[in-house]
């Protein structure tokens, strides 16, 4: 069974609270856009596509909640929502897409403008579902029965509006009857691999083995990893890719061991306005995410902490990008 992380219910948004997984499966309904912003910030919803979809619905909630469909108010609300998490390009992409649609139809009645925003948010959600399916179909051709695939963080139904990006490829392989074994990094410091990926794959009946982040190199050296597949939060014009912290380390290890390293992402994640990864704003997270584990201190009080949410993998370490438009070569290839 593949889960559904985001759903519109009337004029509310239903989100699966991913901070409570795997111990509790709790869905929350929101009709206040500020609460959706906070849900994005505290990672109740996460993953670039899912953040973009949630942000689009949040703008519809916001305009309806304020009752003001003026251009100035919509732009103001849009900027507030876009500030929730700066690194994931899908968030700003989804909001800007709605603003462009509104600008083209601004002569309409207030109720028509609000309906337009809801409709465009729903269209973004449906398109993401279809994009995930296409990514899965294109990517599945790169894998065969018997492969053992390493993944990092969570890129499945929990992170998107469909079956996922990197995990969407794995789901498609499973649906095709391919015997795939997934190795899931735990993904410190928030354990998205342990809490979410392992939970999601187990729920879907796919063989998954959990490992700590510092075990991947050993498995590669032993020949137990045939490919690596990850998602992306932003891909720059030259192919540099921002993804969950720790992705760069995995890419370096894969390069050393001659293992294909694939990035699965929709074309909306490609940021043509940013030249290289050096220009990407990397979100810094609370030190408590490193010094505490589910509220329990695991480091000395007051210790200095470095806690970026993402790192950047240079394009030369990437074998190929699996997109909804097909396979695109990495490694600075045109």
Contact predicate 200/156, CB 8 Å: yes
Task: Tell whether the torsion through CA atoms of 269, 273, 278 and 282 is positive or negative.
Answer: negative
Q: Using the structure block, give the residue that is written with the tokens 């897409």.
A: 97
* Cα 267 to Cα 11, 151, 175, 264, 271, distances in angstroms: 29, 20, 24, 10, 9
What's the rounded Cα separation, in Å, for the pair 68 and 104?
18
Q: Is 147 a catalytic residue?
A: no
What's the rounded Cα separation, in Å, for the pair 189 and 19?
13
| DSSP-derived secondary structure for 302-324 | T-----BSEEEE-GGG--EEEET
**What does the radius of gyration of the chain's CA atoms come to, in whole angstroms?**
20
Residue 67: DSSP 8-state: T
Which residue in the list 233, 240, 311, 324 is annotated as catalytic?
Answer: 233
Task: Say whether 59 sits in a helix, a strand or coil.
Answer: helix
| Spatial CA neighbour of 113 closest among 53, 50, 81, 66 | 66
Pairing of strands 27-30, 12-16: antiparallel
Contact predicate 62/81, CB 8 Å: yes
Name 21's Cβ contacts closer than 8 Å, sequence gap at least 6: 158, 195, 196, 199
| Spatial CA neighbour of 40 closest among 2, 1, 5, 75 | 5
Q: Which residues are known catalytic residues?
A: 233
């Amino acid at each position: 069974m593949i889960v559904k992380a985001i759903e519109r219910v009337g004029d509310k948004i239903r989100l699966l609270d991913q901070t409570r997984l795997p111990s509790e499966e709790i869905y929350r309904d929101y009709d206040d856009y500020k609460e959706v912003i906070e849900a994005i910030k505290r990672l109740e919803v996460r993953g670039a596509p899912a953040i973009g979809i949630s942000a689009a619905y949040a703008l519809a909630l916001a305009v309806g909640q304020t009752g003001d469909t003026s251009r100035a108010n919509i732009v103001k609300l849009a900027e507030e929502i876009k500030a929730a998490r700066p690194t994931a390009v899908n968030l700003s992409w989804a909001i800007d897409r709605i603003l462009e649609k509104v600008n083209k139809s601004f002569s309409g009645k207030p109720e028509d403008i609000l309906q337009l925003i809801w409709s465009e948010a729903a269209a973004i959600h449906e398109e993401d579902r279809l994009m995930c399916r296409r990514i899965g179909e294109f990517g599945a051709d790169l894998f065969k029965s018997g492969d053992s695939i390493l993944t990092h963080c969570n890129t499945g139904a929990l992170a998107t509006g469909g079956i996922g990006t990197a995990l969407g490829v794995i789901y498609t392989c499973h649906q095709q009857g391919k015997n795939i074994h997934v190795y899931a990094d735990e993904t410190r410091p928030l354990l998205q691999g342990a809490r979410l990926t392992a939970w999601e794959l187990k729920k879907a009946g796919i063989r998954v083995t959990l490992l700590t982040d510092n075990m991947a190199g050993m498995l590669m050296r032993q020949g137990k990893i045939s490919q690596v597949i990850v998602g992306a939060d932003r891909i720059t014009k030259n192919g540099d890719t921002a993804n969950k912290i720790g992705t760069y380390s995995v890419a370096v290890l894969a390069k050393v061991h001659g293992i294909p390293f694939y990035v699965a992402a929709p074309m909306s994640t490609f940021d043509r306005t940013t030249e290289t990864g050096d220009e990407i704003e990397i979100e810094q997270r609370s030190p408590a995410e490193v010094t505490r584990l589910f509220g329990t201190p695991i480091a000395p009080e007051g210790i200095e902490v470095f806690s970026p949410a993402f790192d950047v993998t240079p394009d030369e370490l990437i074998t190929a990008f699996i997109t909804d438009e097909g396979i695109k070569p990495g490694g600075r290839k045109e």
